[in-house]
């Protein structure tokens, strides 16, 4: 078993045994090498996304956890949020330059739930139209500039 698989096994074990509120791994989606996951998340109570369900797709390289996972919203329901493009790409610094190998699937999911929770107005990113038309399929290929972590 590679170190990436070992680490992901540990994470999976922890998340299935003691899942955080509103976050659940879709175990049917797991590939045998664990290199792709789908995680179901729920909008937190008393937020704009209360009652909504979303899916996050995770892809890991063999260099995980030194390499950040590719994380994006997938499926039919993409949250309308100033940091979430309509193609599912997420502008969140921990997914690229602020990634740390001490982060995990769980901490990424909780950060995304929290990012949704602090939203005050459901609106697309202002540059959504041009971004989705021109971006790479891989959100990690976008060089994001993060200046605002308050939404």
Partner 1 sequence: MNTATGTSSPSNDDRQSPNDDDQNGTYECNICLETANDPVVSMCGHLFCWSCLHQWLETRPNRQTCPVCKAGISKDKVIPIYGRGNPNPQDPREKLPPRPAGQRSEPETSNPFQNFGFGGDGNFQFSFGIGAFPFGMFASTFNLNDGRPGPPLPNSPQQAEEQFLSKSAWGPADGIWHVAAFIVERHWTGGKSIFQ
CA distance 148 to 70: 21
Among residues 65, 81, 83, the alpha carbon closest in space to that of 123 is found at: 81
Stated as kind and residue range, the H or E segment containing 58 is: strand 53-59
Q: Residue 145 CB, nearest distance to partner 1 (Å)? A: 4
- 91 tagged catalytic: yes
SS3 12: helix
Q: Which of 21, 22, 31, 52 binds partner 1 (CB under 8 A)?
A: 31
DSSP state of 90: B
Which residue stretch of 45-53, 83-91, 107-115 sits at the interface with partner 1 (rule: CB under 8 A)? 83-91
Q: Specify whether the backbone of 122 is left (phi greater than 0), alpha (psi in -120 to 50) or beta.
A: beta
Closer Cβ to partner 1, 5 or 51, answer by number: 5
Binding site for partner 1 (CB under 8 A): 3, 6-7, 9-13, 16-17, 27-32, 36, 57, 59, 62-63, 65-66, 72, 74, 82-83, 87-88, 91, 96-97, 99-103, 120, 125-127, 129-131, 133-138, 141-148, 150-151
Catalytic residue positions? 91
């Amino acid at each position: 078993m590679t170190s990436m698989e070992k680490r992901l096994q540990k994470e999976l074990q922890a998340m299935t045994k003691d899942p955080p509120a509103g976050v659940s791994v879709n175990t049917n989606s797991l590939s045998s090498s664990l290199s792709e996951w789908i995680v179901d998340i729920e909008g937190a109570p008393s937020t704009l996304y209360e009652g909504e369900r979303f899916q996050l797709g995770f892809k890991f390289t063999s260099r995980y956890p030194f390499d950040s996972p590719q994380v994006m919203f997938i499926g039919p329901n993409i949250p309308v949020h100033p940091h979430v493009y309509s193609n599912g790409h997420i502008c969140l610094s921990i997914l690229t330059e602020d990634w740390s190998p001490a982060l995990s699937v769980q901490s990424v999911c909780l950060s995304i739930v929290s990012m949704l929770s602090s939203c005050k107005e459901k609106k697309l990113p202002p540059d959504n139209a041009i971004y989705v038309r021109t971006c790479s399929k891989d959100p990690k290929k976008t060089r994001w500039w993060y200046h605002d972590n308050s939404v």
